[in-house]
A and B are shown apart, each in its own frame.
Chain A
Amino acid sequence: MSSVMANNKTTNKAANKMITQKGFAIDLKTWGPFVALVALGLLGVLINPAFLGLDNLSNMLTRSAFIGIIAIGATFVITAGGLDLSVGAMAAFIAGVMIILMNSLVEQFGAGWTTILLGIGASLLLGICAGFINGIVTTKGKIEAFIVTLGTMGIYRSLVTYLSDGGTLTLDWAVRDIYRPVYYGSFLGITIPVWVFLAVAVIGYILLNYTRFGRYCFAIGSNEKVAEYSAIHVDRVKTLTYMLQGVCVALATIIYVPRLGSASGATGVLWELEAIAAVIIGGTMLKGGHGRIWGTVVGAIMLTMIGNILNLTDAISNYLNGTVQGIIIIVAVYLQRASWRKTGP
């Protein structure tokens, strides 16, 4: 045990304490993402004190909510040994259908909450269906999740382009005015998207750690055969993870639509990769069997924070956002693997 502690490069005292109390090392694997987040925050303050401004922080968290909510869904999928590449395209497709539906409902119900609630309902329904399709094709068709969701990604992406006729779908102005507060409004000084993000994270945490469903995700992701021999309905649980992912995408879309009031073929591009990146930075293993909701939340915030910090400084071009994100992802995973090697079997 002492050698593990000696090798432990993290300065986090809490981590060391956990090791001695519980008798096993959780060091970087658990606390790494949080340490990195704090470090990145400190860097932000050093670069520009405006970083800590309330407006800036609020703005940053609000922006991270989209990816964050989707990434929480992805945490379940990945923990259970799956993968969903279709989420970005799915979000664009749902946004497109939602806008078309609400625009057409305006004639019947007028520009009011009825129209918006129907749009929201349709969005959730679409998300669940899309997830169900991903899940059922993966499990019953016995096709790799990568391939299935690569396929559905292409389908949704082209469908939204088709619906918008290659251009942009725009939400009715009157509806947009009413819907606007869902993105721009706030409650107790915290914006609505952040509240939703928080709620999804809390529910996700409970689901993953305190329900049979969550435990089964871990078991399936670790070893599907063992799960089968433990009387777990493997296909059912896996399909449910994709459906949960669909719901998360729908929720993210619901708060995304009032932001711009439009959708096009360029909506949600690369969101799937950002979501997966957030999950991986957070310490969930890509091959499944180990997932952490709070890590994912931190990962999503970190990704947005990088862009934000680059915005606040002239030292590095904003165009290098992707470069910095890429480096951080690789370093984060390297550190986790390094600690895994020391403590693992």
Chain B
Amino acid sequence: MLLSARKLCRSFGENQVLFNVDLDLQTGEVHALLGENGAGKSTLVKILAGYLRPTSGEVLVEGSQRHYRSSGEAEADGVVMIHQELALAEQLSVEENIFLGRELRRGLFLDRRAMRERSRAALAELETHVDPSARVKDLSTSDQQMVEIAKAITRDVRVLIMDEPTATLTENEVSVLFALIDRLRQRGVAILYISHKLREIEQIADHVTVLRDGHLVDSGPMAGRSKEELARLMVGREITEMYPPRTRLPDDAPVVLEVRHMVVPGAVKHASFTLRRGEVMGFGGIVGAGRTALIEAVLGLRRKSAGQVLRNGQPVVMRHLRDAVHQRIAYLTEDRKGKGLVLNMDLRSNVTLLNLRAHCHPLIDRRREEQAFQQAVERFDIRLRTAARTVAQLSGGNQQKLLLAKVMSIDPEIVIINEPTRGIDVGTKHQIYHFIRELTDSGCSVILISSEMGELIGLSHRVAVMCAGVLTGVLEGEQINEEEIMQYASGIKGVGGDEQRHG
């Protein structure tokens, strides 16, 4: 056995994320690691690659125990991890990246020729056309991945860990990657492959291990296991009482928003959907499937190359978010700190920033602004510590409520919420779910983009699922369950072509 894990446990504070997980990797096999977001996959591989230390349990390489204190020590053993977000120095050349931090030298000076030769040899072995002297910035994502892999090969890799390598690749690039994985397998490299995409795993995996909530639920050869079975194993838990019952929709609820044939360059190939008054429309799919790009293109935050938006049946043009605000559409971004709130600004100004007009006659009326802020604090139950003056000093949950207060300040009829519960505590989650129910009760419509299955199933009237830039299907009623969503999200069901023919 090349690399093994025995009874690995890991906790972050009081929160245990891995429970007695075993894993065995053999030379020359592709081992798929499956699980939902938060199942503990990343934690597990980070321990194997030396980025994290286990709370208890052992890591063995060829039967002897290892206590990695850094990723460098794991790499010395030939265990290399390629990150989800590629970690290359963009302005440096390919060869400089391949030897970054372990440059070959001749005396005091760099041995550029030797580095170029070895880079070229490694790239040739991967059968890629990447030029060693090209700047990484100018390469496509798949070529950048090749560079990462070349980097691993020059380190005499024996175990290659790939965390969602296809998340940002096109179909063509994926097949190139798979051919490469195949060659690596023939060289005797063991590959630990993390992915949500069951179709891919069926294609390349020899062995599969499924994690759920930090526990190992299944492990064995891929042969004899079906995708459907694996999808069920990945999610297989019941939704708890976390979610309030849905608002009852009248049969004649009018369509308030319709999106037709939306195309966003580089992100969305085809998507059409409708939204009715009082409805919660969930958007499922894995990260990078194009959900955020689709919604942002609808709102005028991104350029679209084709598509039409109808509001209450009338075609509307939204080129800037301000146009969307005029259409009474509010958008809650998934990136609270990067796009949602001004961290070093006071709380009041943050809440009124989107609808500052309402407080201008024509000068800003600070007293009214303060009143509006106080009302928002009450309505959204924002808990202010006396010392908190800027957003950065608030907790994640309170930041999210502040952001909610900000977007609700325009009194919207349609609220688009992107990952509303990312990084917040259970109590606040609960509050946000009930807030969504209140919204739909009062006649608002909600679009809910979420990577948490439970949320989608617990709150949505319908769920649209996207896979690789295509809206593969809209699920209703009994169809809304985790396995079904997972199948559409991984492209097993509802292939984009069908949608396009009918649409």
Contacts and interface: CB of A to CB of B under 8 A. Distances in A.
Interface of A: 1, 23-24, 206, 209-212, 215-216, 218-219, 222-223, 225-233, 289-290, 344-345
Contacts of B405: none
Contact of A212 (B338, B344, B356): B356
A229 B335 CA distance: 10
B339 A226 contact: yes
A256 B393 CA distance: 47
B168 interface: no
Nearest to B354: A230
Given A211-B363, A211-B364, A230-B353, 13 more contacts: A23-B387, A212-B357, A215-B349, A219-B342, A219-B345, A223-B338, A225-B339, A226-B341, A229-B331, A229-B333, A231-B322, A233-B322, A289-B344
Contact of B362 (A1, A211, A233, A344): A211
B354 to A, nearest CB: 5
A92 to B, nearest CB: 35
6 contacts: A24-B387, A209-B364, A212-B357, A219-B349, A222-B345, A228-B301
A231 B341 contact: no
Nearest to B300: A231
Contacts, number: 79
Contacts of A233: 320, 322
B343 A215 contact: no
Given A223-B343, A229-B301, A215 B321 contact: no
A212 B354 CA distance: 10
Contacts of A23: 386-387
A223 B363 contact: no
Nearest to A207: B363
Contacts of B190: none
A24 B386 CA distance: 9
A218 B349 contact: yes
B325 interface: yes
A211 B339 contact: no
A286 to B, nearest CB: 14
Contacts of A222: 342-345
Nearest first, the 7 closest Cβ-Cβ pairs linking A and B are A345-B392, A231-B321, A210-B363, A231-B322, A229-B339, A222-B342, A230-B353
A231 B325 contact: yes
Nearest to A222: B342
Nearest to B341: A226
Given A226-B339, A228-B301, A289-B344, A206 B392 contact: no
Contacts of B322: 231-233
Nearest to A226: B342
A305 B360 CA distance: 39
A228 B357 CA distance: 16
Nearest to A24: B389
Interface residues of B, number: 34
B390 interface: yes
A212 to B, nearest CB: 5
Contact of B363 (A206, A227, A229, A290): A206
A223 B350 CA distance: 12
A33 B344 CA distance: 21
Contact of B342 (A210, A223, A231, A345): A223
A1, A212, A344, most chain B CB atoms within 10 A: A212
Nearest to A215: B356
A289 to B, nearest CB: 6
A75 B353 CA distance: 21
A225 B296 CA distance: 13
A229 B342 contact: no
A198 B354 CA distance: 32
Nearest to B342: A222
A215 B349 CA distance: 8
Contacts of B320: 231, 233
A211 B341 CA distance: 20
Nearest to A345: B392
B54 interface: no
A209 B363 CA distance: 9
Contacts of A226: 338-342
A198 B339 CA distance: 37
A25 to B, nearest CB: 9
A181 to B, nearest CB: 34
Interface string B311-328: 000000000111011000
A212 B406 CA distance: 16
A212 B364 contact: yes
Given A222-B344, A226-B341, A231 B354 contact: yes
Interface in B8-67: none
A251 B335 CA distance: 43
Contacts of B343: 222-223, 345
Residue from B321, B349, B386 with most neighbouring chain A CB atoms (10 Å):
B321
A291 to B, nearest CB: 12
Nearest to A206: B363
A219 B340 CA distance: 11
Interface string B383-407: 0001101101100000000000010
B340 A229 contact: yes
Contacts of B363: 206, 210-211
Contacts of A290: 344
Given A215-B353, A222-B343, A225-B339, A231 B324 contact: yes
A2 B298 CA distance: 51
B394 to A, nearest CB: 10
Contact of B321 (A216, A229, A345): A229
Nearest to B336: A226
Contact of B364 (A24, A215, A228, A231): A215
A229 B364 CA distance: 21
Contact of B393 (A206, A209, A345): A345
A210 B338 CA distance: 26
Contacts of B392: 345
A289 B345 CA distance: 8
- Of the listed residues A1, A209, A228, A230, the one surrounded by the most CB atoms of chain B closer than 10 A to its CB is A230
